[in-house]
Amino acid sequence: MRRSTVRNVSLAAVAATVLSVGAAAPPTTGSTAPVKVPVAVGYGGAVASVDADASAAGISVLRAGGNAVDAAVATAAALGVTEPYSAGIGGGGYFVYYDAGTREVHTIDGRETAPRSADASLFLENGRPIPFAEAMTSGLGVGTPGTPATWEAALDAWGTKSLRRLLEPAERLARDGFTVDATFRAQTQANEARFRDFPATAELFLPGGQLPVVGSAFKNPDLARTYEKLGRQGTQALYRGGLARDIVRTVQDPPVREGATRIVRPGDLTVRDLAGYRTERQRPTKISYRGLDVYGMAPSSSGGTTVGEALNILEGSDLSAASPEAYLHRYIEASRIAFADRGRWVGDPAFEDVPVRGLLSQRFADSRACLIKDDSVLTSPLAPGDPSDPRPCAPGGTAAPTTYEGENTTHLTASDKWGNVVAYTLTIESTGGSGITVPGRGFLLNNELTDFSFAPADPAVHDPNLPGPGKRPRSSMSPTIVLDDHARPVLALGSPGGATIITTVLQTLTNVLDRDLPLVEAIAAPRASQRNQPTTELEPALYDSPSRARLEALGHAFRLNPEIGAATGIQRLPDGRWLAAAEKTRRGGGSAMVVRPAGRP
């Protein structure tokens, strides 16, 4: 067993990596984009996101005396402008907050909910599941948005600035425009066919009927007006009144262009569903790993329980001394087991009896860890264990496959000069969500209800993730905060990527805490993702490496995935500085900024 507390995460390597980098927030003027820098170190607080304009919005709030919660809301609102295919007020997410004053971690479940009319047959037609593509691009897949309510709940509980003030940077960005990059153009191009089938979407995202040009300024005056409305009237303006009626009208009668051949099913979201939406404040998940406390998001997310169980499984392995192949083997097998248990047990706790305590118990993890052998590979789909009866190496029951989840979520992390920390993951599900823009309002609606199981894998086994009235679909979003044995922050991180979010967060955590990689290198390291499937996904650097052949010799099977996740994180260094880190290349690279680079406290 390793030491009781983690070592000082390779400070020499960190210092070498960030020497003379420390990015602050450059001015944003018109279509001039701030430069993306993947790592920054300094004082006064930090923000990391996938987008430089969004990170700059958060830093501007910190410089004006706001705290980490204020900065997170401002950053999220800006991401709704510059990352509209990944997040926005038409979606939802999970907000994890560390309060430096009380040294406690709190969470907000801002997940979308199904209409009150929904039942287990929501995605069935003549007793059979409809095609996923038809569910994705429809009113049927749209859940009640939770993002605006999340902002309100976070600010009411812990914020210091008004929503109106915090929306101003995003409002300016939407009105004046941001610079189109290659990622934004590529994502638009990938959605071009379905965007053209919705006149409001085509008018906004295909200006003049053409794909946006890299380097041009992209403006969204409708969204600027919507933000201005929310700033004046509060987020309840989205849940009641004219904006709510516009959302309902769009869902119930999707505005499809004349002559389109696409099947676009209507949904049954109502003004009552919107008016009745509430966020949920719940206790975070918590496990101990290498003497540190790891906090995550409880169900309806499966992130906290699955990351936590996998870490508990790995607790008995010395990953620091393992060869690259032995490390990957253990990590892959722990992921496989944790996903097997996730599929059977995790759903919306308002509807399902989710055994969170059992899933996170070390006793249960040990009973599952004994399945891992150094010289062989488990077979997927692996059957789940029973947390209420954790018998060592028990064969388990019927396996539950991993449901598909859209990959274009986004994650931000923020901290402030007082030591508060936020890890916030938000989404509209698939890249471009439902593809349906609310006419005149400037934002896309989510397709989050497609995260439900369309039908049970085995009719004889209860599926906790079937649709239900007002139910939240299971998610893999995994905003995570790690504290030391004095309840002080060590690091916070999260990622987009659908079900690969869980493996991305798990691999990044073990890269930092076990393999001693600097956070920016832990984020950049090539990824593997096993989700209780016959094959494990590998990014090219691993797929083309000697490690692949050595692992295949053990029995592993792999398939290529060009890109997994797009993480961001922050770290509190022993000398009191904040380190912010983001992707170097994935999704065009991310943006890390601090209030005062390097300088003295």
The answer to whether 115 and 206 have CB atoms below 8 angstroms apart is: no
Give bridge partners of residue 285 from the DSSP assignment: 296
C-alpha pair distances (Å), 475 with each of 76, 112, 284, 348, 497: 19, 10, 15, 9, 11
For residue 203, the Cα-to-chain-centroid distance in whole angstroms is 28
**Positions marked catalytic:** 409
- Note if the bond before 467 is cis, omega within 30 degrees: no
The answer to whether 570 and 344 have CB atoms below 8 angstroms apart is: no
Distance CA 110, CA 305 (A): 18
C-alpha pair distances (Å), 253 with each of 85, 143, 199: 21, 15, 13
Distance CA 278, CA 63 (A): 32
| Cβ within 8 Å of residue 76, ≥6 positions away | 54, 87, 93, 147, 151, 412, 424, 426
Buried b (16+ CB within 10 A) or exposed e, 10-33: beeebeebbeebbbbbbebeeeeb
User: Which DSSP letter does residue 519 get?
Assistant: H
Distance CA 168, CA 161 (A): 12
CB atoms within 10 A of CB 593: 31
User: In 3D, which of 517, 539, 519 has the Cα closest to residue 528?
Assistant: 539
Distance CA 573, CA 577 (A): 5
H-only helix segments in 30-84: 52-63, 68-82
The answer to whether 117 and 273 have CB atoms below 8 angstroms apart is: no
Give bridge partners of residue 288 from the DSSP assignment: 293
Cα dihedral 181→184→190→192 (10° resolution): -100
